């Protein structure tokens, strides 16, 4: 008798346990899965080459629904989206950041966003969600999740102007030209005789005196004769 009572009591407790857990289990299976989206915008980079952003998402813990893909490749000035399938209400948190690349001259965005996905019951066993984001380490909410890479300015080497100084040596040559002047004197017998004496020719002094007297006499005679003819 006691055994049957114990068995009945255990059976009743099992029924009560099933009635307590069954509604929750049934309700969890009844929701239509929700596809939550987390948009990420990547700004334009002032660089001649097209830049591609590598964006990563990390769930808060193992109980947090995992995105379809843990990384996104987003071209500059474009928007990418993380998609997460959620099957029940709850509050789910994620961290989103950029994975730095290896392109030289590009400064990668180091911001980390903390994203929260609130999921609630919707009409007719559906789920609705709201997504909020903020920057890690700050209480300020972010209007959108965006990243901005910066291309460092390339400094071109300054043109070097080489000044070449050329030294020109000018040699001045002084040319001395000897000029010989020849003076021709009129044929004057007295002057010729005197010049002959200056040259050192041997000539008797008396002969010289006679010659001079003869020349003077002849000269005076000719002059006087010329005067008389002029008077006629």
Q: Is 119 exposed, middle or buried (0-12, 13-18, 19+ CB in 10 A)?
A: buried
Higher pLDDT, 188 or 71: 71
Q: Is the pTM of this model over 0.85?
A: no
List, for residues 124-159, the tens digit of each pLDDT value: 999 999 999 999 988 889 999 999 999 987 666 556
Rounded CA separation 180/206 (Å): 36
For residue 230, the Cα-to-chain-centroid distance in whole angstroms is 113
Q: What is the pLDDT of residue 99?
A: 97
What's phi and psi for 149, nearest 5 deg? -90, 150
Q: How far apart are CA 162 and CA 77, in angstroms?
A: 45
Residue 77 pLDDT exceeds 90: yes
In this predicted model, which residue has the larger pLDDT, 96 or 21? 96
Of 219, 210, 225, nearest to 188 by C-alpha is: 219
Q: What average pLDDT does this structure show over 48-65? A: 94
**Predicted confidence (pLDDT) per residue in 166-211, tens digit:** 655 555 555 454 544 454 455 555 555 455 555 555 556 566 667 7
Q: For domain 30-151, give the fold.
A: Immunoglobulin-like (2.60.40)
Q: What is the pLDDT of residues 83-130, one digit of tens each?
A: 999 999 999 999 999 999 998 899 999 999 999 999 999 999 999 999
In degrees, to the nearest 5, what angle opens at C-alpha 93 toward C-alphas 92 and 99?
140
């Amino acid at each position: 008798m006691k055994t049957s009572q114990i068995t009945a009591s255990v059976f009743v407790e099992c029924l009560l346990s099933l009635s307590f857990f069954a509604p929750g289990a049934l309700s969890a299976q009844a929701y239509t899965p929700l596809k939550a989206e987390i948009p990420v915008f990547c700004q334009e980079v002032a660089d001649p080459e097209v830049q591609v952003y590598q964006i990563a998402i990390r769930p808060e813990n193992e109980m947090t629904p995992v995105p379809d893909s843990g990384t996104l490749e987003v071209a500059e000035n474009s928007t990418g989206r993380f998609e997460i399938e959620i099957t029940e209400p709850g509050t789910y948190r994620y961290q989103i950041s950029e994975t730095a690349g290896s392109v030289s001259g590009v400064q990668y965005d180091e911001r980390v966003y903390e994203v929260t996905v609130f999921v609630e019951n919707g009409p007719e066993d559906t789920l609705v969600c709201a997504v909020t984001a903020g920057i890690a380490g700050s209480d300020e909410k972010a209007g959108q999740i965006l990243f901005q890479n910066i291309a460092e300015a390339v400094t071109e080497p300054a043109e070097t102007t080489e000044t070449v100084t050329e030294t020109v040596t000018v040699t001045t040559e002084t040319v001395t030209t000897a000029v010989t002047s020849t003076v021709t004197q009129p044929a004057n017998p007295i002057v010729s005789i005197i010049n002959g004496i200056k040259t050192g020719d041997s000539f008797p002094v008396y002969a010289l005196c006679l010659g001079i007297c003869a020349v003077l006499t002849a000269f005076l005679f000719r002059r006087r004769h010329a005067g008389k003819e002029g008077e006629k």
